[in-house]
Amino acid sequence: MRLKNYRFFNIGEDHDYFDDHNNAEIMRKVARKNYLPMNALLLDLINEYGSAFKVSFSISGTALDQFEAYAPDVLDSFKRLAATGQVEFLAETYAHSLSALKSKDEFTKQVQRQSAKIETLFGQKPTTFRNTELIYSDEIGAMVADMGYDVMLTEGAKHVLGWRSPNYLYTNAINPKLKLLLKNFQLSDDIAFRFSQQSWKEWPLTTEKFVGWLNQLDPKEEVINLFMDYETFGEHQWEETGIFDFMRALPGRVFSHSNFTFNTPGELGKNLQPVAPIHVPFPISWADEERDLTAWLGNELQDEAFDKLYQLEQKVQKCDDPQIHHDWLYLQTSDHFYYMCTKFFSDGDVHKYFNPYGTPYEAFINYMNVLSDFILRVDKNTSFGKEPENKKVGTTGKTLKKKTGTTPKKVRKTTKAVKKPKSKK
């Protein structure tokens, strides 16, 4: 959900922050290239293979809002998938936000709101949770367990796993009732990032080759979790690359040349036994070689904007203006902070065309101008007994002394959990 070009002189005068026209155009473009053809392909596969083929989706509330506003045919296509009974819809934050890092109360509210919307639209009450950008830590997992979720997805980060494999079911270190499914990032990224990369030594990727890699894994390993942006199919990897043909042929190859089966995360949580707890004292994510938070937080631009936003939480709760609550929610979307990243990522080229700003500094200034106006509105609406702070927020020279770079962006994920049954004796 992109902000419009919001100038210093708009502060106090213009309370409409979002570029509705551009957001509608982007949604329709991605719907045409990605959502509609891929949903149709998945429905065809379910019709062909029945209960043998399954898939799961994590869709933010803000994405669902945009489907309703700009692409109702996309929403209808997801409803058709839901009606098959072969698709699991996961819980996540409503605004695809970083609230788990800042406020348990806000995090819980957003998850409950998104879960309720999933149940309303698709007739499912989520039991599996996927946090924004696969962000996870022991404390975040404990919060998710407290909300009653059985399973959570996160990254199979090397520095967390050490010698262990991501291809097992694990548990949260604080509350072992929460089971963890870890992304196999090597195999996931082979499809999501490297599929059309002709410099890759394994290009072109075929279903024969991919299923061959699955068969080479240790037979004791129980599950291969493929998590990726849904925009992989048709947007990051264009139709001309053969990505749709690959996905159409993949299930058949799995069934005919391996012992693997397709399962939803919820099924895996019930059918597999955890092998051990995973200790994650510091938050991890899907992003970059470090699998850390620096795509969204860490430099002075990001931290100033993030902290300034969440300083408003208690005031916003006292506001009685529904539009303020709407804007508060949408201003938390992780993309706003991601656009301010000054670090270059190896997979940034795949995503940089989604960034509407020329530099991270432009993103920061635009966001802080919007936030300045939002602060004025919140102060005016609340009864704190003081005059609004009529000042412009945080465009200091000190804050702007960072290097320029581009970073990747996650929009939403689809998950395909492939379970390998135990070998027969």
Phi-psi region of 131 (alpha: psi -120 to 50; beta: other; left: phi over 0): beta
Q: Which of 133, 139, 235, 304 is catalytic?
A: 133
The crossing angle, in degrees rounded to 10, of helices 61-70 and 72-83 is 120
Q: Is the distance from CB of 229 to CB of 408 less than 8 angstroms? A: no
Answer yes or no: 25 catalytic. no
In angstroms, the CA 251 to CA 50 distance is: 12
Instruction: Read off the tokens for 120.
Output: 């309303």
Which residues have a Cβ under 8 Å from the Cβ of 129 and sit 6 or more positions away? 90, 91, 92, 111, 144, 147, 149, 151, 152, 153
Instruction: Read off the tokens for 410.
Output: 């996650």
SS percent in the chain: helix, strand, coil, step 5? 45, 15, 40
Q: Is the distance from CB of 392 to CB of 378 less than 8 angstroms? A: no
Q: What is the largest CA-CA distance in the chain?
A: 76
In angstroms, the CA 116 to CA 260 distance is: 33
Query: Alpha helix locations (H) across 124-242?
Result: 138-146, 158-161, 185-192, 207-215
> DSSP states of 239-262 as a string?
GGGTHHHHHHHHHHHHHHH-S-EE
Dihedral through CA 81, CA 286, CA 95, CA 18, nearest 10?
-100
Residue type, 200: W
Residue type, 49: Y
Residue type, 345: F
Hey, CA dihedral for 339, 344, 345, 349, is it positive or negative?
A: positive
Residues assigned a catalytic role: 133
